[in-house]
Structure 1
Amino acid sequence: MVANRNELELFVSGARVDPLVFALRPDYRALLVAVDGIAPAAGDDVSDALLGRAEAMARDLATQGPVEEIPHVAAWREAYRAFGAKPQRTRNSLEALLRRAPGGLPRVNRLTDVYNAISVLHQVPLGGEDLTRYAGSPRLVRSDGTEPFDTTAGGEMVTEHPEVGEVVWCDDSGVTCRRWNWRQGRRTQLHDGTTTALFIMDALDPMTDDALTAAADDLVAHLGPDVVSVRRLLAPTTGGQSL
């Protein structure tokens, strides 16, 4: 387990985005939020109320027009097309949640429920993973097609490989999330006992850095009073800065 702020800072300091990704989308930014001291728990009144707010927002947005026309969703659809993915078949995590939310978001555990709600409320793709299951720091690259990705198919554990040129998050052991923010692998997924987590918030224009910061503030505030957190913004102009 990561036990102090220094170790969290060391972890996020090793994160990077390959220049080929920034070349694909020069407006891309990733805000990494590493958190320790999370108290595992079932969903409670607070997390349920947060999900309820997210569901209500999604229902309101649905009355205003198609989900795919929401500005940040539309931007991510363009990004998917840029590396050859079909957004109508492989939806980014934000779009998938916004489409599901009007009918009710899943209730899993307090940690997962909170980060799903924050993703919808702030309209940002947000991935959550167990930091202790990482092999080295995260990096976002364009795949060479050989990296392993552990997932399930037909109820069985299988290893797949991304397509050449696909944008993937990975560590030293393989892919942790395919197609930027489409599907996370099983190895690093959150579980009921997770106490140390990495959250990745992906942004494209028109989302601002201030909006990213507000989403991170809201997330950390709902993770409990005793958590320790470290942030790092990865952007083409900064090369990544600790916040």
Structure 2
Amino acid sequence: MVQHVWSVNELGEWLAAVRIDPAIFDLRPDYCAGLMVVAGISSGPSDTDSDQWLQAADSCDIDLDDVHLEHWRDAYRSFGAKPNRTRPSADALSRRAEKNGLPRINKITDTYNAISVLQRIPIGVENLDAFVGPARLVRADGTEQFDTTNDGLGVAEHPEPGEPVWRDDTGVTCRRWNWRQTPRTAITDTTANALFIVDALGPDAHQRAAVAIDTLRTALATGTPSATRYIDTAD
């Protein structure tokens, strides 16, 4: 994959094109998306810095009845999903941290997984160079394609009608808001340009998304060029 050299203006223009369907706010008026794109991010294998974040998450006092996790379970129920079967990402990570500890994957993934658990907020990271057109959050009609794997083999699935999905011009990049990402846009040890998506709910959603973005920026030492945007009303 050819990695584009992004300027600050290009990052800002890409973010400005991100859209959230008004139907999402009809479903949850308290939703806020915190978005950050970073060019030239420091990626690579797990290191001592990311391991410190994981240790903090593994040793924190995890309350699975936390109100912020409950917001997401309620959101999943609102579009027909069963959160005890397909869990919101922050819920699934919190349970994993409490039971066996978080896995060591790579520097970026380890860090954002840990922050997600510590702040009880869903965070996703995508390879910006893998996107075809801008990202948008919509309620699926059921015809969209979601490329994933099953038993190590590539398969194409389709979301349920009405399911919130992040997508680009090619297909779905993440199902059920933040449940499962496609390998097509997944980050790796060599990812150079990244899109961070923070999904927040509740009366303090914008503030919580901003705190998570600031924490990510500091933890990953994300320098320039980068751009940040928050969307908490329908455009």
> 1:185 aligns to what?
182
One-letter code aligned to 2:112? Y
Q: Report the 3-state secondary structure (helix = DSSP H, G, I; strand = E; otherwise coil) of the residue aligned with 2:59.
A: helix
> 2:92 aligns to what?
96
Q: In angstroms, what is the RMSD of aligned CA positions?
A: 1.3
- Unaligned segments of structure 1, at least 5 residues: none
> 1:200 aligns to what?
197
CA contact (8 A) 2:25 2:233 kept: yes
One-letter code aligned to 1:178? R
For the pair 1:45 / 2:42, whether they are aligned, the reply is no
- 1:5 pairs, out of 4, 8, 12, with 8
The separation in 2 between residues aligned to 1:24 and 1:121, in whole angstroms, is: 26
The separation in 2 between residues aligned to 1:225 and 1:162, in whole angstroms, is: 33
> 1:175 aligns to what?
172
Give the alignment of 1:1-243 within 5 angstroms: 1-57=4-60, 60-62=61-63, 67=64, 69-102=65-98, 103-224=100-221, 226-236=223-233, 239=235
CA contact (8 A) 2:18 2:134 kept: yes
Range with greater deviation from structure 2 (87-96 or 30-39): 30-39
The separation in 1 between residues aligned to 2:92 and 2:204, in whole angstroms, is: 18
Q: Deviations over 1:35-57 (max 9, x none)?
A: 11112222111110111111111
CA contact (8 A) 1:31 1:231 kept: yes
Q: Report the 3-state secondary structure (helix = DSSP H, G, I; strand = E; otherwise coil) of the residue aligned with 2:167.
A: strand
Range with greater deviation from structure 2 (201-210 or 181-190): 201-210
CA contact (8 A) 2:133 2:169 kept: yes
CA contact (8 A) 1:149 1:161 kept: yes
| 1:227 to partner: Cα distance | 4.2
Deviation beyond 3 Å, 4+ runs, structure 1: none
The separation in 1 between residues aligned to 2:25 and 2:222, in whole angstroms, is: 36
CA contact (8 A) 2:8 2:224 kept: no
What TM-score do the two structures reach when normalised by structure 1?
0.91
| 1:210 to partner: Cα distance | 2.1
One-letter code aligned to 1:98? S
CA contact (8 A) 1:72 1:207 kept: no
Q: Deviations over 1:201-243 (max 9, x none)?
A: 0011044322221111110112225443211111117x3xxxx
Q: Report the 3-state secondary structure (helix = DSSP H, G, I; strand = E; otherwise coil) of the residue aligned with 2:194.
A: strand
The separation in 1 between residues aligned to 2:49 and 2:139, in whole angstroms, is: 39
Q: Deviations over 1:147-197 (max 9, x none)?
A: 100001122100001011111000000000001110001110111110100
One-letter code aligned to 1:116? N
CA contact (8 A) 2:27 2:78 kept: yes
Q: Among the aligned pairs, what percent are the same residue?
A: 50
Residues 225 and 88 of structure 1, relative CA distance in 2, 3 Å threshold: closer
The separation in 2 between residues aligned to 1:9 and 1:21, in whole angstroms, is: 23
Q: Report the 3-state secondary structure (helix = DSSP H, G, I; strand = E; otherwise coil) of the residue aligned with 1:61.
A: coil
The separation in 1 between residues aligned to 2:233 and 2:163, in whole angstroms, is: 19
